[in-house]
Amino acid sequence: MTGAGMRANLPAMRALLIPSALAAAFIATPAAAQSGCAAPSAADIAPLVPIEPEAAAEPAPLAPLAADSPWRARFEAAADELLPALRSGDWQSKLGGRWLGEADRQAVAALLADRCAAFAPLLGSGKPLERRILGWAIPASYSPDDRAEIAARPEAEALVCWSAASGGVWPATAAEADNRAARPYACVRIAYSVRGGVPRWRAFVERG
């Protein structure tokens, strides 16, 4: 091949060499591992453009549901109905309903039957229990219109927590309402809706 022909073919040759080199690198990697060679370090495989890690989102704080909330009486009535069902064992129609799969149903049943779990002091106690109904605090940055729009929605959620002896300790975020055995309270999440004038609710048990 003449010098002129070589120069004319250089771009095409480079285009072929680049994917060939990449393929060789990928093929060589497992071979190096099998031969006992050290794996590439983190510095070797670092991205060309540094990527800043995303900041962890702060969990939304919980706050007692306001006494004048139009939802408060509904959540109180649901909680009054749910606790006896948990104590009697007849809770299947109230926890999750058709949204609760069989594996989750068995996990909830095991949690409620566990004598060392957070629900044990509540279900086996004949004493009056403390109760808190908690909602998610609306950020201070929300405008009056934003707050009115939230209040007008046909659905709402709240955490209902009971305690035989909380000592004033209640979950500050939803992550703390996980019903771990060390918690001095146990909680359920109730999803409530009123559509077409018909109220409906279902409860869910979070498991830590």
- DSSP-derived secondary structure for 27-95: HHHHHHHHTTPPPPPTTTT--SS--PPPPPPPPPBEEEPPTT-TTHHHHHHHHHHHHHHHHHT--TTTB
Residue for token pair 């909602």: 135
Residue 9: what pLDDT?
A: 46
Question: 136 in helix, strand or coil?
Answer: strand
Q: What is the pLDDT of residue 96?
A: 78
CA angle in degrees (0–180, nearest 5) for 36-41-42: 150
Task: Return the pLDDT at 140.
Answer: 83
pLDDT of the residue at 18? 38
Q: Is residue 194 classed as helix, strand or coil in its secondary structure?
A: strand
Tell me the mean pLDDT per 10 residues along the chain, length 208: 46 40 42 48 51 65 90 95 92 81 88 91 84 89 88 91 86 93 93 91 86
Question: What is the structure's pLDDT at 17?
Answer: 38
The pLDDT of residue 52 is 61
Closest C-alpha to 140, from 61, 67, 65: 61
Under DSSP, the state recorded for 120 is H
Alpha carbon of 29 to those of 11, 24, 60, 107, 162: distances in Å? 28, 9, 45, 43, 56
Residue type, 30: P
On whether the CB atoms of residues 132 and 64 are closer than 8 A, the answer is yes
pLDDT at 139: 80
Structural domain spans, the chain:
1-48, 62-204
Q: Does residue 147 sit in helix, strand or coil?
A: helix
| The pLDDT of residue 93 | 87
Q: With contact defined as beta carbons under 8 Å apart, do 118 and 181 qualify?
A: yes
